[in-house]
Amino acid sequence: MQAIQNKAPFWVFAYLIILAFGLCSVANARTSTPQSTHSAKKASTAKHKKAAARKGVQKSKIVTRRSLRSSGKPSKIQVGLRERQLDDIIMHRPKSGLDNSSAQLRSEAAFVLDLKTSTILYDKNSDEVRPIASISKLMTALIVTESGLSMSDPITISEDDVDHLRHSRSRLAVGTRLSRAEMLHLALMSSENRAAHALARYYPGGMPAFVRAMNDKARSLGMRHTHFIEPTGLSSENVSTARDLVKLLRAASKQALIHRYTTDDTEQITLNNGRQLTYNNSNQLVKNPGWDIKISKTGFINEAGECLVMVTRIDGRDVAMVLLNSTGRYSRIGDAVRMRAYVERGTTLAML
């Protein structure tokens, strides 16, 4: 009986030790599990945040690159342009802080030349061959004015003059009868396609002879990268370079009639039935008294973008300016204003 009593405390003590060890293990497991889980979650969250940050950067780059074209929300630049309206652009108000090393043009190709000294004032992709749209009409006008044909001869619009390629609109209905001078006036000032086509059709030998004369004239002027297949510019196969077009501007500037018709602000013509039509110049800059423009022609088809060529007087010198494939409705006008500021700044720096 005494032996049993002596052994009892030993088994009780052993049982208590085992129980205590078990309780400690359970407690440690419960304590360590939330910590490890929390650490794993924290690491996972950080990893997701980094990945999201990377995606966010990529997304912002895409939005920035496409904001001016594909974003449904108008950009600050677009909104600002609408608010200023075209008058602010025309009245020679370039942005402040313009980079001295670049005119920051939106035109894909540009070439500016001092016609007296042949000094290149600006050059951007000037040797790239591009569609030139209605700039073609300057060559059309050059062929007509140098042909010696009477400018008072009547010309009648026919079905052949209707644009079946791009279906462009015209207020000259089939059967409209005007003088050669009036047709040339509308073709140059308002870029009237039917008038330009009719002028070529009434050329001796017809359309084939006229187009041949256009290409022959281009070669004689040294326009080696220029080719015409029709007189209006509606075809994207009428191509040239910015440098070549300066040669065309130089030749056209010698024709007083081209100077007059391309710089007229407005013209009113009387049709056969007595109805009067008012046409305006397609280059809004000719309306601005702050610009002294000698020759002007605009052009647009999708393949060519917005185009503008001019001979204008800047700082007392005649400057030929060619702007091709600009994007945006008023972008070619804005580029002309920026280019003028660029040339004027260069003249000022040269005098210092």
Encoded amino acid at 202, one letter: Y
Block residue for tokens 């210092």: 352
Average pLDDT (258-277) is 92
Return the minimum-mean-pLDDT range out of 62-71, 243-252, 253-262, 338-347. 62-71
The band of 251, judged by pLDDT with boundaries at 50, 70 and 90, is very high
> Nearest 5 degrees, angle CA 192-CA 197-CA 199?
100
- Of the candidates 338, 106, 126, 337, which has an alpha carbon nearest to the alpha carbon of residue 247? 126
Q: In whole angstroms, what is the distance from residue 326 CA to residue 96 CA?
A: 21
pLDDT tens for 289-299 read 999 999 999 99
Domains, the chain = 103-351 (3.40.710.10)
Give me the catalytic one of 134, 240, 296, 331: 134
Average pLDDT on 319-328 reads 94
CB 175 within 8 A of CB 272: yes
- Residues 250 and 241 sit within 8 Å (Cβ to Cβ): no
How far apart are the C-alpha atoms of 84 and 79, rounded to whole Å?
9
CA distance 180 to 200: 10
191 annotated active-site: yes
CB 280 within 8 A of CB 203: no
pLDDT in tens, 122-178: 999 999 999 999 999 999 999 999 999 999 999 999 999 999 999 999 999 999 999
Pairing state of beta strands 305-314 and 317-326?
antiparallel
- Of 126, 190, 191, 331, the active-site residue reads 191
pTM greater than 0.75:
no
* pLDDT tens sequence across 194-219: 999 999 999 999 999 999 999 999 99
326: β partners: 306
pLDDT tens digits for range 53-106: 444 433 323 222 233 333 344 444 443 444 444 444 434 444 333 343 456 899
- Residues in Cβ contact with 145 at an 8 Å cutoff, skipping those fewer than 6 apart: 184, 255, 257, 258
The SS3 call for residue 269 is: strand
The one catalytic residue in 107, 124, 136, 137 is: 137
Rounded to an integer, the average pLDDT of 248-277 is: 94
